[in-house]
Amino acid sequence: MPIVFGMASSHTPSLFAQTYDGWQRLWGRFRGTTPQPPEIDNEGPAAVADFVARTAAAFATLKRELAAAKPDVVIVLAGDQNEWFDDANLPNLMIYAGDDDIVGFHNFGADDHDPPLAPWDHPERFGVRLRVDRALGDTLLDGLVREGFDVAISRHVPVHAAPRRKVPHALVRPLPLVLPTLDVPIVPVMMKTVERSPAILSGDRCLELGRALEAICRDLPQRIALYGSGGMSHDPSGPLAGWVDEPLDRWFIEQLASGTPGELGALFSFRSLATESGSGELRTWLPVAAALDAARPGIKAALVDYFVARKSTVGNGWVTWPLLVPALSLSS
Amino acid sequence: MARISTVICTSHSPFLFASVERWEQTFTLRSGKGAFAAGVEMETRPEMDAKHARVSAAAAVLRDHLRAINPDVLVIFGDDQQEQFHVQNFPALSIFTGEEFSGFKVNPKDGPPVAGDWPLRPRTPEHWATVPGSPKLAKSLLTGLTQRGFDMAFSAKLNDPERGMGHAFMRPHTLLETNYTIPTVPIWINCYLGPQPTAARCYDLGRAVRDLVLEYPEDLSVAIIGSGGLWHTPGAARSYIDEDFDAKMLAGVRAGAARDMAVYFDSRRPKWDPSDERSVREASGGTGIVTGLGSGTGETRNWIAAVAAVEGRPGTVIDYIPINASPIGTAFAYFSL
């Protein structure tokens, strides 16, 4: 059973706050000293309440569709922001294929609290435990390295560059909202996404990675789903904080919805403030798109939702692809 | 523009830096643990003395060669044996981009080169040295390699400064008596921890490094070193020296036939089924060190990358010295360009 389903979404911190005050706190943290765009005045309590409702609905859609795919395992494409890695040993690609669960913290509601709660101080409320499919991780490592992908190997959960945060937020924040249950194991495929440097994966390389993943998974017995975590355009705390690149996001979604992910290979082939920092997390969507396209050429993604929330400093998007292989239903 | 002024391929075994008494001691300790294949006999003392002298003579030739070249920079292809990297995050390919690195000149422990509770050496000038990096060239290689489709990791500083830079990068400086002053770009290739890069990938890496050095805008004389090998599976059960493998590699060096070396190397790659834990362990150790190409022999990847940088030019093999007491096929070679 090959890859049966794919999806991708933003994981912006504000998406995990439920209140206007929470959104205001996060806006204050991430806008930095950057002058804000005039549209910010439109994001009052009513607009934020709408963002909160749309976020809940969008994550619920992902969760429902993923559950319908009945995955045995979810390969998660995700970036790191000094959580596992620092510049003493910073990979472009890394796969954790170990026996231990990944244990960290989500932040649901943490910023709604006054003052905000530090999740690591309240493990009973914010703790997340993710199971890992080591065997599939080994298979991916073996196949990718054989095919000339220079993937760093992890068999123990990394010693933390950020000891309190413990685990990349790209994993522990969105996954509890999209996994059918936390018993479904994952394989984390870590990609360098946000470094302001030219020594980082090109769009084409990310697409190649997706095609290679699809080829490796094609003959495996499990039902495998893919999830890309991060994006869309954003530059929190950077020179473009609050200035969302909506044309970029809309073009990106258009390629997915048109079944033309190959067009996205041009991304990250040159340097730009618009594609560095958080926008670089769009890399995590590319292997999903390429793998789905390899499994069924021309397959078109469905846009679940997209909204620009300048107070979150992010263009927030959710997409899913049609189920490739329906799960057998006991009732049929 | 920068130029490649020589390529040197050298073993870096601790035997190169140890007395014959240590050689004997090592054989005795290892054979007590069943570490030798049937028929692998320790050399007689006169044979050992002769091999020890050949090692010294070969190292002297390499020293003189490097001294005559007097390069501005060394680019060393080498491996890491849990000196800088651990199984939390072990890079397939990485490059050191920092200002300098320090490490033990030969070994962190004062004893025979076998696992044991030997006293730790102090980090004094007698045992510990600091080597300048070459950050500008290193960052240029990092960027260039990534843009050519290598998924490079990097270290801007040592990941484990207490343990120090690994032997694959320190020992060539010691063997070649550089006084640790030649700015050095370490490029790590995962030679031990399965799954390791194919030799074909290492060949491609060497070719790409060649192109990037030749495109580098500064007037630099760059010496490239392939560090490690040849056949050795130290400490593994039933060790021996596969002299056929070594002969194939040395024929490749003489002909500058890096691609042939890579094809042969990959043809000897142990097969394993990732779903069968035992076969993974036998082929690569799962978490590390085992027989065949997953062990010390895997360091031959560093030679293949280095020779790829001068593919087509004939190399000179100074000597090939199989040392049963380890056992290891030691070899020393250089390219005059």
A158-202 pLDDT, tens per residue? 977 777 889 999 999 999 999 999 999 999 999 999 988 899 999
Least confident of A118-122, A268-272, B114-118, B170-174: B114-118
Q: Look-up: residue for tokens 């869309």?
A: A232
Smallest Cα distance from A96 to chain B, Å: 8
Q: How far apart are CA B194 and CA B281, in angstroms?
A: 9
What CATH homologous superfamily does B3-336 map to?
LigB-like (3.40.830.10)
Say if the Cβ atoms of A91 and B91 lie within 8 Å. Answer: yes
Per cent of chain A over pLDDT 90 is 91
Say if the Cβ atoms of B274 and A154 lie within 8 Å. Answer: no
Q: Look-up: residue for tokens 């994001």?
A: A43
Q: Does A84 touch chain B (CB under 8 A)?
A: yes
C-alpha neighbours within 13 Å on the C-beta side of residue A266: 6
| Dihedral sign computed on CA atoms, order B192, B194, B198, B202 | negative
Please enumerate in sequence order all residues whose Cβ is within 8 A of that of B307, keeping only pairs 6 or more positions apart, or say none.
B7, B9, B206, B226, B252, B253, B256, B257, B258, B261, B315, B335
Is the pLDDT at A1 greater than 90? The verdict is: no
Residue (of A229, A87, A113, A221) closest to A171 by Cα position? A229
Q: Say which DSSP state A90 is in.
A: B
Q: How far apart are CA B101 and CA A133, in angstroms?
A: 37
Say if the Cβ atoms of B92 and A150 lie within 8 Å. Answer: yes
Name which of A138, A153, A205 to mutate to probe chain B: the one with the most chain B Cβ atoms within 10 A of its Cβ.
A153
Residue (of B295, B337, B234) closest to B79 by Cα position? B295
Q: What is the CA radius of gyration of chain B?
A: 19
Residue (of B326, B118, B284, B73) closest to B195 by Cα position? B284
pLDDT at A332: 42
Helical H segments across chain B, by residue range? 20-31, 45-69, 135-147, 167-175, 199-215, 243-255, 258-267, 277-284, 300-308
Cis peptide before A267 (omega within 30 of 0): no
Residue (of A271, A6, A150) closest to B91 by Cα position? A150
Average pLDDT over residues A69-74: 97
B147: which chain A residues are within 8 Å (Cβ-Cβ)?
Answer: 198, 202
Task: Report CA-CA distances (Å) from A159 to A133, B70, B157.
Answer: 20, 41, 16
Cis peptide before A174 (omega within 30 of 0): no
Smallest Cα distance from A27 to chain B, Å: 32
Residue (of B255, B253, B301, B142) closest to B208 by Cα position? B142
Q: Say which DSSP state A181 is in.
A: S
Residue (of A267, A262, A290, A264) closest to A280 by Cα position? A267
- Is the separation of the CB atoms in A277 and A194 below 8 Å? yes
A151: which chain B residues are within 8 Å (Cβ-Cβ)?
Answer: 92, 151
First to last CA, chain B: 16
Structure-token pair, residue B126: 């007698």
Q: How far apart are CA B190 and CA B186, in angstroms?
A: 13
Show pLDDT as tens, one digit a residue, over chain B (337 residues): 999 999 999 999 999 999 999 999 999 998 888 788 888 899 999 999 999 999 999 999 999 999 999 999 999 999 999 999 998 999 999 999 999 999 999 999 999 988 889 999 999 999 999 999 999 999 999 999 999 999 999 999 999 999 999 999 999 999 999 999 999 999 999 998 888 899 999 999 999 999 999 999 999 999 999 999 999 987 677 788 999 999 999 999 999 999 999 999 998 877 666 566 666 655 553 333 334 456 789 999 999 999 999 999 999 999 999 999 999 999 999 999 9
For the stretch B103-132, pLDDT in tens is 999 999 999 988 889 999 999 999 999 999
Q: How many C-beta atoms lie closer than 10 Å to residue A294's C-beta?
A: 21
For the stretch A14-50, pLDDT in tens is 999 999 999 999 999 999 899 999 999 999 999 999 9
Per cent of chain A over pLDDT 70 is 98
Return residues 161-220 of B near A (CB < 8 Å): 190, 193, 195-198, 200-201, 204
C-alpha neighbours within 13 Å on the C-beta side of residue B209: 37
Q: What is the DSSP pairing of strand A186-191 with strand A93-96? A: antiparallel
Structure-token pair, residue B295: 């062990």
- Is the separation of the CB atoms in B306 and B226 below 8 Å? yes
Tell me the three state secondary structure of residue B262.
helix
pLDDT at B289: 36
Domains of chain A: 3-320 (3.40.830.10)
- Is the separation of the CB atoms in A1 and A295 below 8 Å? no
Question: Which H or E run contains A68?
Answer: helix A45-68
Return residues 79-108 of B near A (CB < 8 Å): 84-94
Name which of A77, A80, A87, A89 to mutate to probe chain B: the one with the most chain B Cβ atoms within 10 A of its Cβ.
A89
Q: How far apart are CA A149 and CA B203, in angstroms?
A: 14
pLDDT at B281: 58
Structure-token pair, residue A40: 């910010």
Where in chain B are the domains? 3-336
**ipTM above 0.85?**
yes
B153: which chain A residues are within 8 Å (Cβ-Cβ)?
Answer: 89-92, 150, 152
A76 alpha carbon, distance to own chain's centre: 7
Q: How far apart are CA A174 and CA A63, in angstroms?
A: 10
